[in-house]
Amino acid sequence: MDNEIIKEIVKDVNDSPRGVYWSYDGFNFELKPVVRKVNEEGRAIPYYEETWNTTELYFEVRASGHKS
């Protein structure tokens, strides 16, 4: 792969808060903005895909199959 850019993501705080999803070489990737809100019990609960104006991101990688 030698320094190859596979996926370049450019987001503005005013963009749609939908996450970014892609597949590459037998893997599925997710990148979503996360906002923490305090509930009635004082616990910080994560909310996904509300705004890109955040300091926290959720990133997930899943194997989707074997590439031969």
Per-residue pLDDT at 66: 60
Per-residue pLDDT at 51: 93
**Ordered DSSP codes for 13-67:** TTS----EEEEETTEEEEEEEEEEEE-TTS-EEEEESS-S-SSEEEEEEEE----
Per-residue pLDDT at 49: 95
The two structure tokens encoding residue 42: 């004082």
Per-residue pLDDT at 67: 57
Domain range for 63 is: 1-68
Segment-wise mean pLDDT, segments of 10 residues, the chain, 68 residues: 80 92 93 96 96 94 76
Number of domains, the chain:
1
Q: What is the pTM of this model?
A: 0.76
